[in-house]
Structure 1
Amino acid sequence: MARHNLGVVIGFEFTRTVKKRRFWATTLAIPAVLAVVFLLIFVSNSTTSVNEGAQRNAKITFTYTDSSGLIPASTAALFGGQLATDPGTALNDVRSGRSEAYFAYPADLSRDPIKVYGADKGIFENGKYDAVARRLLTTAAEQKIGSTQLTAAVSGTVKIETTTFKDGQLAGGVGAVVPPLLFLLIFYVSIILLSNQMLNSTLEEKENRVTEMILTTLDPTTLIIGKVIAVFMVGLVQLLVFMTPFGIGYVFFREQLSLPSFDLAHLTFEPGPMITGALLLVGGFTVFTGTLVAIGAVMPTAKEAGAVFGSIIALIFVPLYTVSLIVSDPHALIVQVFTYFPLSAPVTALLRNGFGTLNPVESVAVIVELFAVGFLTLRLAVHLFRYGSIEYSRKLSIRGTFGR
């Protein structure tokens, strides 16, 4: 009977949520906004690319002075430049409109800036002066060096490939870090999407004054577990809807949207970190689910629960403020505190797991702790709901419930 009731609760809670127009309006609003943003970025990048190309290949007439002696007159002429004999006269010609631009190259380019003067043609189009001045200097330097290899070395455009080894085996590098960190992304997305529903899962019936009728036919444990599973299923639907625009944009419009390119073949799925990440995700999700459901059972209204809810959610973002310390010095005291404090442990442990600083002993300890605390918080939530579901006008006394 309890198993049958669990299926009824899950089906009822899931269908009740997904049938609401407000749910789909909220769920589809973000993809719609993302689609508009992607369209604007696409149009903007297309226009910017055309304008940048026009600036790089812009043909202007200008005068210049060269105290460095690096720029040959013949090279400057190809860019539309003419050597000026007097800097003051050249500057006055630009000011009066008789000349389009004037470039003043200093004697020491490593210390002093190149001064560019030009006729104002708008914020963006004015960038062509800087582009031409740089291109002229780069071309002159390449001609003077006379070697493409030396030019690449000096300009810093050489490519470097780094290979590292761990325990005598080829290390995965960034490709081994990304997959375990995906569990951290899933954790954040799931908590952000589902936390409010977790909190309201027990508050809604309480505010509607129907919990007495529900508890006459359902065991509180069955009800709570059914609500948690239903909320998780709703979150999967939302996650799928939210991620669809990102998937379409990355697969079909990556270049147009200027999205970073990453070769998926370079990803390394190491069994240890992946299993650890999955267990940390499930354990952390259980802890926060039990905590939020318990808050909903104690508080009489959503308004009063909101204050406590904000403080709990804030705890999952606290470790991000020390992410550099977590990566560089994982054995620092504050990092160890964050690693084992139940509400900050999921994020901290997932970060350390991704970057390879969570050793097997610590992994087992944190996973066991999260599952134990998660189980206890869910049991506590059931106990509090049993007695707090009919406390409509005041906050439930936790001490009083244990006294019963």
Structure 2
Amino acid sequence: MALARHNLGTVIAFEFARTIKKRGFAIATLAIPVLLIVVFALIYASNTSTHATADAQKNARFSFSYTDASGIIPAAGAQAAGGTPVSDRGSAIEAVKNGTSEAYFDYPADPSKEPVKVYGVDKGMFENGKYEAVAKQLLGASAQYQVKNPALTAALTGTVKFDSETYKDGHVAAGVGGVIPPMLFLVVFYLSMILLSNLMLNSTLEEKENRVTEMILTTLNPTTLIMGKIISLFMVGLVQILVFLAPVGLAYLFFRDSLALPEMNLSSLVFEPGPMLIGALLLVGGFTVFTGVLVAIGAIMPTAKEAGTIFGPLMAMMFIPFYTFSMVISNPEALIVQVFTYFPLTAPVTALLRNGFGTLSPVEAGIVIVELFVVGILILRLAVHLFRYGSIEYGRKLSITGTFRRTDLATK
């Protein structure tokens, strides 16, 4: 037992060090953070320029003429905004055309039925919007001035705030704040599979292609070797996730306002023990299933090129449940949602989605969790068995049934 633990630690340390020292791994791991830094720098520069332009437009004033058939616009308010009343609509439009007047607004008798006509001298696509903005602002301010009732003004302009509260089982429902924490497990599942799936697939293929597997297996138990590779790859994945998140975290902490990043109110998040525990178990179970399948594929296929033909469809299974996203939320009893919930390769994503949105019952969660762990462990055992017999199959795909016939012959 002590020797097995020693061998497992040796495999983990060797595989971890070998993976992170590869030039391709360093390039792939650092490429995304560098790209994020470049994107953040461009956003920062663009936002700085945009804010400067917006401030310039906000402070800029222009004169305009207007006609008001509605009688809503008070002369004093229009004059304060830079407006001059005119009586001849045609002459006002002509003045804009020849450039002697910068803008002209034509307010109809009933703005609710007819549009306000806005005419202005072309200042470019982005600056031309100031004409309509000023015309709209003047009309809104004039209407509010005539109403002279803050309550009615708020109701009419849609600025009234609403505070909603819903109940579930006699308690206040968590709402969106209770959905986000369990959904983080789905994010972690996708990140881990996207980052590690290719490494898992090649973890056994590399030794087979180098034709050193049979020498390794003379000193190591196949189970120890496979488990060591899986644990080391999980550690590599954690390193990659931390490297990827580092620039995002630094940008949020020090440049949130400059990059226009949304403010996160962590106090609104609700960490309910039940959904969080279920999410964690679904994450581990789903990771076990996909890891076993990928290692088994690597044990069967002689080369990475041939393994790629199965790798693509397998990864697609993780995204198929999103095609039924609306049904997962609104109609979880639908047949296709039930199939996706219990089919091992779609169960992790579907169950994590339903768990986040509160449509996965405790009984369903228990069944899926047990299924994922049982199927995952069985597939891992099969992967170890296939790796033992497929380690010397260099030129052709391993026959699964053939390996079991060899086992039967060996026991006789």
**CA apart distance, 1:111:** 4.0
Q: Partners in 1 of 2:357 and 2:198 — Cα distance?
A: 30
Q: Partners in 2 of 1:104 and 1:390 — Cα distance?
A: 85
Q: Partners in 2 of 1:360 and 1:340 — Cα distance?
A: 14
| Unpaired segments ≥5 residues, structure 2 | 407-412
Q: Partners in 2 of 1:87 and 1:388 — Cα distance?
A: 88
> Counterpart in 2 of 1:188?
190
Residue 216 (structure 2) pairs with residue 214 (structure 1): yes
1:95-244 correspondence to structure 2 within 5 Å: 95-244=97-246
Q: Partners in 2 of 1:116 and 1:180 — Cα distance?
A: 51
Residue 399 (structure 2) pairs with residue 384 (structure 1): no
**CA apart distance, 1:56:** 3.7
Instruction: Give the match's secondary structure for 2:95.
Output: helix
**CA apart distance, 1:103:** 1.9
CA-to-partner distance for each residue in 1:363-397, whole Å, 9 max, x for gaps? 10000011011101111111111122222121112
Amino acid at match of 1:401: T
> Counterpart in 2 of 1:327?
329
Amino acid at match of 1:44: S
Q: Partners in 1 of 2:206 and 2:78 — Cα distance?
A: 76
User: Matched residues, percent identical?
Assistant: 66
> Counterpart in 1 of 2:11?
9
The runs of 4+ residues in structure 1 deviating greater than 6 Å are: none
CA-to-partner distance for each residue in 1:262-292, whole Å, 9 max, x for gaps? 2111211111000000000000011111111
> Counterpart in 2 of 1:256?
258
**CA apart distance, 1:115:** 2.7
Q: Partners in 2 of 1:88 and 1:402 — Cα distance?
A: 93
Counterparts in 2 of 1:35 and 1:41: CA distance versus 1, 3 Å:
same
Counterparts in 2 of 1:66 and 1:230: CA distance versus 1, 3 Å:
same
> Counterpart in 2 of 1:403?
405
| Stretch deviating more after TM superposition (37-46 or 339-348) | 37-46
Residue 34 (structure 2) pairs with residue 28 (structure 1): no
> Counterpart in 1 of 2:410?
none
**CA apart distance, 1:184:** 0.6
**CA apart distance, 1:143:** 0.7
| Stretch deviating more after TM superposition (146-155 or 1-10) | 146-155
Amino acid at match of 1:117: Y
CA-to-partner distance for each residue in 1:224-270, whole Å, 9 max, x for gaps? 11100010000000001111111112222222222222211121111
1:302-321 correspondence to structure 2 within 5 Å: 302-321=304-323
CA-to-partner distance for each residue in 1:20-60, whole Å, 9 max, x for gaps? 23222221111111111112112222222332343344311
> Counterpart in 2 of 1:81?
83
Instruction: Give the match's secondary structure for 2:396.
Output: coil
Task: State TM-score, norm by structure 1.
Answer: 0.96
Q: Partners in 1 of 2:320 and 2:111 — Cα distance?
A: 46
| Unpaired segments ≥5 residues, structure 1 | none
Residue 337 (structure 2) pairs with residue 299 (structure 1): no
Q: Partners in 2 of 1:111 and 1:220 — Cα distance?
A: 79
> Counterpart in 1 of 2:42?
40
Instruction: Give the match's secondary structure for 1:116.
Output: strand
Counterparts in 2 of 1:284 and 1:301: CA distance versus 1, 3 Å:
same
CA-to-partner distance for each residue in 1:61-117, whole Å, 9 max, x for gaps? 112223333212221111111223222222222121111112223334334433322
